[in-house]
Chains A and B, each alone.
Chain A
Amino acid sequence: NAGVMQNPRHLVRRRGQEARLRCSPMKGHSHVYWYRQLPEEGLKFMVYLQKENIIDESGMPKERFSAEFPKEGPSILRIQQVVRGDSAAYFCASSPTGTDTQYFGPGTRLTVL
């Protein structure tokens, strides 16, 4: 049973470009969470999704950030018009229900030049 998959592992963008981060949850998991880790900080919750629904986006910046988890395919975290402050490690986690242990992917390291 493959774990949570994230791609790309490393992403370099110039200011103003768009970044798309993908997450495939573990098989049988329908709950996906995105977290961000800024340098020298802990993980900060961004958004919680189930298939085709956003359950909690209280940690998402109000502008430029969006997330989706379509019926088919991976969950996507999209950052438009990236700025240097968006440089961070973005982790995706999944769980089978919404009430128990979350299993993390290896993360995508975004660098904005």
Chain B
Amino acid sequence: DQQVKQNSPSLSVQEGRISILNCDYTNSMFDYFLWYKKYPAEGPTFLISISSIKDKNEDGRFTVFLNKSAKHLSLHIVPSQPGDSAVYFCAALFTNAGKSTFGDGTTLTVKP
């Protein structure tokens, strides 16, 4: 039973356009969500997070949207740059439990 799902294994966009990465979860008790970026042979790097009491959080080119009723979150990258090409993982956690549950990742390719 996978509680966090990223249904698109890959996404390709043109430089300068918007990248939208999606993530669905099944457990309504999750109260904190994060996006990580991972390059090959490196560990995941924290990008942006959102608490369940919010529906949007923005940091520069990155915005995360949370739709609690749909149990869905998305990461928007605008404008996309070739250096954004990486695997993006969404993660969800219960803040009183600590461990994160990860999706399987989406590979983003930004073409020059």
Contacts and interface: CB of A to CB of B under 8 A. Distances in A.
Interface stretch (A62-70, A80-88, A104-112): A104-112
For the residues of B in contact with A, the DSSP-based class is loop
Contacts, number: 62
Contacts of B101: 45
Contact of A107 (B43, B49, B89): B43
A91 B105 CA distance: 15
Nearest to A3: B43
Nearest to A45: B99
Interface residues of A, number: 29
A99 B100 contact: no
Interface in A36-85: 41-45, 48, 55-56, 58-59
A99 B34 contact: no
Interface in A1-23: 4, 6
B89 A42 contact: yes
A35 B102 contact: yes
Interface of B: 6, 32, 34, 36, 41-46, 49, 89, 95-105
List the 9 shortest-distance A-B pairs measured between CB atoms, nearest first. Answer: A42-B104, A104-B43, A98-B98, A99-B95, A43-B102, A104-B44, A106-B43, A45-B99, A42-B102
Interface of A: 4, 6, 31, 33, 35, 41-45, 48, 55-56, 58-59, 91, 93, 95, 98-107, 109
